[in-house]
Amino acid sequence: MNLAVIGTGYVGLVSGTCFAEMGNDVICVDNNPEKLKKLKAAEVPIFEPGLDVLFHRNIEKERLFFTDDLKKAVLESEMIFLCLPTPQGEDGSADLKYVFGIAEDIGKILKEAGDKDFKIIVNKSTVPVGTCAGVTSVLKKYDIKNFEVVSNPEFLREGFAVEDFMKPDRIVIGASTEATIKRLKRLYEPFVRQGNPIIEMNPESSEVTKYAANSYLAMRITYMNELANFCEKVGANVDLVRKGMGSDARIGKRFLFPGIGYGGSCFPKDVNALIKTSIEHDSPMSLLKLVDEINKAQKLVLVDKVLNHFNNDVKGLTFGVWGLAFKPNTDDMREAPAVVIINKLLELGAKIKAYDPEAMENAKFYLQDRITYTENEYEAADGADALLVLTEWNEFRNPDFEKLKEGLNNNIIFDGRNIYNRRVTAAKNILHYSIGKGPVIDGKY
């Protein structure tokens, strides 16, 4: 099939590349000259495991193209995927100016071309319920009749996006006609050869599904974070509680790991957008409002532990930081707990030396030159009064503790992701603070 992907951000680039991998001809459109220059030079502008291999292969096979010519892409493609940013507005709502702006452009292009060939406009951006109807209204304003706007949300996890796209748990298609559903199913059938479902529904249900899924997962994380804080107060070990809960088939084991709050481009934005949409439709989701508030507070729980240990005075102290990205296997710094934690410590007069395997450049946008960026994790710990672990990268999970201790001024770890076994750190004479378990001192809990 001939496909157009409008927007080469995280979702657009992964989607376009993976569609091309299945033999489709894909034109990706972007209006950022700097990004286009990189893409045309076969440079992958984001870090996502496995993407570079598919990206280069499909450029070489001449199935994946990049352009700023929206008209060419629209007219030469039977399906047009909108993979546009929907940033959070000041009131928490999703800002749809890019989605509706492109809809206006498509309307003008199709009107000028004579509205000849049937076009399927696929909204892959995460958008509030009613957006498909809104885009339809924009196109009808230009007297376009030969089209259908559908919802086809993505469910990609950063760090696993290629795997999630190539072998999805499910495909959700929100469309109004059987003919359009059949064409989209034909596109997606190669991705679900193992029998995972293609779920058909109306556009409104599809739009709600994406927000519902992300908000529910955010709620699970938040519940575990609150439970971890409670466990710490009563002498329970949240890791053992988690195992006891997760063995229940009704609950399952995923998204039960406590820490310093969720971040990224999806959960915070989607939770707030659903809160705002629910209020607009006179059906406020009070639970999600609490989820958002609790998550913001959780990002500072580790700072409270630091202050308690250092008698509320960290002025002049240096802290090593391992991990800046909001999660491992990505360079995404959006809503990263590390930014909140570091900013608070800087505000209190502390100094920061930090290392992240992939997110250093993106971190500079948020933290500028107010911290020191190091070449490796041990350099970040060298001369530090304590170490803060803020992202659970695999390379941090089994460090050389003796080498780490040689660099630290004090053998103290504030483990915001609960990645270390406390008996191991106790055996190394390291004072180990974690989430939901309290410190281990002299080998005792």
Model confidence pLDDT, tens digit, residues 174-211 = 999 999 999 999 999 999 999 999 999 999 999 999 99
Active-site residue, 266 included: yes
Is the per-residue pLDDT at 437 higher than 90?
no
Question: Can you tell me the distance from the alpha carbon of 417 to that of 262, in angstroms, rounded to the nearest whole number?
Answer: 11
| Straight-line distance from the first to the last Cα atom of the chain, in angstroms, rounded to the nearest whole number | 60
Q: Are 247 and 240 in contact (CB under 8 A)?
A: no
pLDDT tens column, 92-124 = 888 999 999 999 999 999 999 887 899 999 999
Check residue 401 and give its pLDDT. 95
Does the pLDDT at position 442 exceed 70? Answer: no
Cα-trace Rg, the chain: 24
The rounded distance, in Å, linking the Cα atoms of 71 and 73 is: 5
pLDDT of 52 higher than 90: yes
Predicted confidence (pLDDT) per residue in 264-308, tens digit: 989 999 999 999 999 999 999 999 999 999 999 999 999 999 999
Share of the chain above pLDDT 70, in %: 98
C-alpha separations of 118 from 83, 110, 173 in Å: 20, 10, 18
- Quickly state the pLDDT bin for 424 (edges 50, 70, 90): confident
What is the per-residue pLDDT for 372? 98
Which pLDDT band, with edges at 50, 70 and 90, does 341 fall under? very high
**Rounded CA separation 219/204 (Å):** 22
Active-site pick, 83, 132, 231, 266: 266
Q: What percent of the chain has pLDDT over 90?
A: 93
- Tell me the pTM: 0.92
Q: What mean pLDDT is reported for the chain?
A: 95
439 pLDDT above the threshold of 70: no
Give the model confidence (pLDDT) of 216-275 as tens digits.
999 999 999 999 999 999 999 999 999 999 999 999 999 999 999 999 989 999 999 999
* CA separation for the pair 76, 395 (Å, rounded): 46
| Token pair of 378 as six digits | 């041990």
Mean pLDDT of 157-172: 96
255: Cα separation from own chain's centroid: 14
Kindly write down the DSSP assignment for every residue of 265-330, as one continuous string. Answer: SSHHHHHHHHHHHHHHTT---HHHHHHHHHHHHHTTHHHHHHHHHTTT--TT-EEEEE--SSSSS-
- C-beta of residue 324 within 8 angstroms of C-beta of residue 336: yes
- Mean predicted confidence (pLDDT) in 18-39: 96
- Count the residues in the chain: 445
Give the pLDDT confidence score for residue 47 in this predicted structure: 92
From CA 233, how far away is CA 365, in angstroms rounded?
37
Q: How confident is the model at residue 438 (pLDDT cuts 50, 70, 90)?
A: low
**DSSP code for 157:** P
The pLDDT-based confidence of 373 (bands split at 50, 70, 90) is very high
pLDDT at position 440 is 56
